Amino acid sequence: MSRLSALTDRVLTKEIKIRKIGVEDIPEIVSIQESILQKKVSKKWVQMVKNHLKKEESIGFVALKNGQVVGFIIGQIKGEGFGLEQSGWIEVVGVHPRQMGTGIGRALAEKLFQFFKKEGIRDIHTAVRWDAGDMLSFFKAIGFDRSVFINLSKHLD
Ligand SMILES: CC(C)(COP(=O)(O)OP(=O)(O)OC[C@H]1O[C@@H](n2cnc3c(N)ncnc32)[C@H](O)[C@@H]1OP(=O)(O)O)[C@@H](O)C(=O)NCCC(=O)NCCS
């Protein structure tokens, strides 16, 4: 990154405030996701967000610019399983297309990492579609690498 763009990024992220997510943020989160996908989100997606916000082991943050929600991240602490000790998971993350590339996704992820660290969690996981190049690049840029797992799936008729 050039020195100028690094400086611009810092100035832009300075305008951004991050706070804990709440149910009142759901309409704006849905609107961001619909802007990203360029289509309506399913009822199931909205329900998934609502369910996360109800769970004690879930945690989320929103990024605000001029008081408006411009990005969100939801994570979860999972207990032991898959041969892992307690671990942190990033479930969903999204930044409004107009604000992408200005450091908001990184700022949201770092806030979540701070939370996990305070909870004594050191290992953080997520899953990305194999063909989602932008998501892969983002996660790589914020320190993720291939995990020890491979995902398996089976379709039931
Ligand atoms: C992926 C996403 C969360 C990243 O948030 P963002 O605010 O745009 O990213 P940031 O500006 O914080 O970038 C952080 C790092 O990731 C990299 N990155 C982010 N988006 C990238 C992209 N599309 N391609 C390549 N690298 C990318 C940046 O280069 C940056 O690296 P650097 O800090 O070393 O320069 C956001 O762009 C997004 O919501 N994208 C849409 C995701 C999507 O398609 N969702 C639908 C399916 S679930």
Could you tell me the pTM of the whole model? Answer: 0.91
Q: What domains appear along the chain, each with residue ranges and CATH number?
A: 3-141 (3.40.630.30)
Distance (Å, rounded) from C-alpha 47 to C-alpha 130? 25
| Residue nearest atom 47 of ligand 1, based on CA coordinates | 37
CA dist 142 and 34 (Å) reads 24
Residue nearest to atom 20 of ligand 1 (CA): 138
Instruction: Return the ligand 1 atom nearest residue 109 CA.
Output: 12
Residue numbers in the chain where pLDDT is lower than 70: 1-14
pLDDT of residue 8: 47
Amino acid 51: pLDDT: 96
Predicted local distance difference test score (pLDDT) of residue 7: 52
Q: Tell me, what's the pLDDT at 85?
A: 83
Cα 135 to ligand 1 centre (Å)? 6
Task: Tell me the pLDDT tens digit for each residue of 55-84.
Answer: 999 999 999 999 999 999 999 999 887 777
pLDDT of residue 14: 65
C-alpha of residue 155 to centroid of ligand 1, in Å: 30
